[in-house]
């Protein structure tokens, strides 16, 4: 169907917008909702903290600053053609590995709650493991495209990538950041499978990975404590089951429609990390089952939209862009499911933020940059479909 513009007939594809408005508004809604919930979940602990000097909106203001940086970074990312991201992928990944090494240097990396994951000074900090998720997506996409003809080969296709991921995993486990390691492993494996890895080799690898994760858990006393606490949080509700038991109490108090925005009791020093790792529990308590379902639906929609954009790029034979979009979809889906699984008691407690919603500057900026890449892939898809050259 054509539309008359001036004196010429214009095809429908030519008058469609140059970007995905649904994706843009969905991302904006999640970011705005996250800001509201971080404000609600953090007021009490910010007011009580010594370093905030009684400022109840301390974490909220910092979250807004990170959100501003993230949106600016996303806008900058959108302006860079995907061919430049492909050329830069190996160098970005090497930079990330260097940062993961630097953060482990005593006196350089900052230690918080027994984990040495942050670089920075004063109130400014950077968490390299969050950037690693984004750069691994870019690197895995570039690697898969370059090695497309060897993806069925164990020696030439899989082992080089496995060695790189082994190095990255070893560095993450030294921090330790088991959650980031699990997400990055899931995303990298998913991208290799989408890139054409032999399914038999993939199945063997999945079995080995499951065995490896089990061994990592049994070899670490604190991970074993978390697993035992997950299996029966009520056996030790004031010890190893403390976080999970209070998260479950928050879900129970919320019932169908919640106790009301801002009315959570669990965020008042009962539920640790209420504004970061356990933000979903606060959502459940204040907005109820309805709020949780809407949140899950929004993330499912976002992940499926990313996969759809990737599939469209694949049909246009833009293989790197396709894998990047699909990798971002896998990343969002994997991290969201792990975080929500932890909050609901379906998975052992693990420090991992809820993408786009939780408090955490590095996580928020990296997630916004990923959305910027997704918008760029979609923009280039639309330009090609209109007959323009990139």
Beta-strand pair 8-11/110-112: unpaired
Q: Cα separation of 285 and 253, whole Å?
A: 6
* Residue 7, pLDDT score: 46
pLDDT of 253? 95
pLDDT for position 346: 86
Structure tokens at 77: 């990312």
Q: Is omega for the bond preceding 176 within 30 degrees of 0, making it cis? A: yes
Q: pLDDT truncated to tens, each residue of the chain (390 aa)?
A: 444 434 444 455 455 678 889 999 999 999 999 999 999 999 988 887 766 666 888 999 999 999 999 999 999 999 999 999 999 999 999 999 999 999 998 888 887 777 788 887 666 788 999 999 999 999 999 999 988 777 777 777 777 888 888 888 888 888 888 888 889 988 988 888 888 777 777 787 778 777 777 777 777 776 777 776 667 777 777 777 788 899 999 999 999 999 999 999 999 888 888 999 999 999 999 999 999 999 999 999 999 999 999 999 999 999 999 999 999 999 999 999 999 999 998 888 777 899 999 998 899 999 999 999 999 999 999 999 888 877
pLDDT of the residue at 115: 76
What's the rounded Cα separation, in Å, for the pair 317 and 52? 52
Q: What angle do CA 74, 79, 85 make, to 5 degrees?
A: 85
The pLDDT of residue 148 is 78
Structure confidence at residue 30 (pLDDT): 97
């Amino acid at each position: 169907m054509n539309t008359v513009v001036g004196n010429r007939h214009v095809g429908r594809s030519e008058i469609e917008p140059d970007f995905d408005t649904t994706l843009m508004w969905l991302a904006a809604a999640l970011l705005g909702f996250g800001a509201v919930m971080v404000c609600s979940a953090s007021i009490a602990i910010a007011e009580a903290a010594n370093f905030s000097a009684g400022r109840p909106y301390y974490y909220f203001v910092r979250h807004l600053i990170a959100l501003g940086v993230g949106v600016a970074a996303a806008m900058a990312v959108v302006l860079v053609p995907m061919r430049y991201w492909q050329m830069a992928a190996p160098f970005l990944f090497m930079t990330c590995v260097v940062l993961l090494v630097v953060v482990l240097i005593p006196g350089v990396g900052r230690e918080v709650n027994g984990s040495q994951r942050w670089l920075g000074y004063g109130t400014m900090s950077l968490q390299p493991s969050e950037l690693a998720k984004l750069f691994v997506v870019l690197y895995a996409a570039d690697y898969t495209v370059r090695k497309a003809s060897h993806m069925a080969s164990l020696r030439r296709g899989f082992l080089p990538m496995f060695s790189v991921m082994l190095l990255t995993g070893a560095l993450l486990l030294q921090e330790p950041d088991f959650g980031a390691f699990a997400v990055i492993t899931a995303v990298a494996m998913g991208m290799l499978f989408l890139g054409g890895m032999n399914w038999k080799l993939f199945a063997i690898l999945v079995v080995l990975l499951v065995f490896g994760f089990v061994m990592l858990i049994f070899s670490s006393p604190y991970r074993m404590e978390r697993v035992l606490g997950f299996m029966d949080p009520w056996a030790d509700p004031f010890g190893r089951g403390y976080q999970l038991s209070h998260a479950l109490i928050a879900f129970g108090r919320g019932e169908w429609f919640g106790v009301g925005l801002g009315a959570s009791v669990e965020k008042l020093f009962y539920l640790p990390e209420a504004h970061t790792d356990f933000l979903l529990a606060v959502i459940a308590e204040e907005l109820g089952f309805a709020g949780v379902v809407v949140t899950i639906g929004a993330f499912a929609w976002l992940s499926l939209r990313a996969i759809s954009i990737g599939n469209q790029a694949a049909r246009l034979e833009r293989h790197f862009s396709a894998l990047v979009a699909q990798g971002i979809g896998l990343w969002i889906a994997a991290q969201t499911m792990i975080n929500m699984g932890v909050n609901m008691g379906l998975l052992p407690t693990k420090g991992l933020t809820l993408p786009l919603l939780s408090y955490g500057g590095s996580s928020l900026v990296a997630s916004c940059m990923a959305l910027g890449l997704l918008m760029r892939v979609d923009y280039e898809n639309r330009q090609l479909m209109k007959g323009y050259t990139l």
